[in-house]
Amino acid sequence: MKLLVMLFFFFSTQVVAMLTPVTYEKDGEVITKNAVRYKDGYGYNVNAEHVLRLVTLDWPPYIDEHLCNKGWLYQFTIQSLLKKGYGVYIGFYPWARAVREAELGKADILFPEYFIESTVISDNFLDKTRNELLALSQPIPGGDLSFVALKGNQIRFNGDLNSVKDQVIGVVRSYKNTQQLDEMIDNKQIDTIVANNEYQLIHLLLSNRVSLIVADLEVLKASVYKSELSINGKRQIIESLVALEPKLEYKPLYFSISKSTPHWQKVLKDLNDEIKQKRQSGQFENFIKKMKQQCYGVEKAA
Kindly report, residue by residue over 127-179, the tens digit of the pLDDT.
Answer: 999 999 999 999 999 999 999 999 999 899 999 999 999 999 999 998 999 99
Q: Residue 14's pLDDT band (boundaries 50, 70, 90)?
A: very low
Domain 9-141+253-301, CATH: 3.40.190.10
Going from N- to C-terminal start, the domains of the chain cover: 9-141+253-301, 143-249
Give the DSSP H/E element, type plus range, for residue 171.
strand 169-172
Is 197 in a helix, a strand, or coil? coil
Across the range 55-63, mean pLDDT stands at 95
d(CA 244, CA 107): 36
Helix (H, G, I), strand (E, B) or coil at 56: strand
CATH classification of 143-249, choosing from 3.40.50.300, 3.40.50.10470, 3.40.190.10, 2.30.110.10?
Answer: 3.40.190.10
Which ranges constitute the DSSP H helices of the chain?
2-11, 72-83, 95-103, 130-133, 179-186, 198-206, 217-225, 231-240, 264-280, 284-301
pTM: 0.86
Residue 7 has pLDDT above 70, yes or no: no
Q: Which of 116, 154, 145, 142 is nearest to 213 (CA)?
A: 145
Question: What span, in angstroms and rounded, lies between the C-alpha atoms of 140 and 284?
Answer: 9
Asked whether this chain's domains 9-141+253-301 and 143-249 adopt the same fold, the reply is yes
Helix axes 231-240, 2-11, angle to 10 degrees: 110
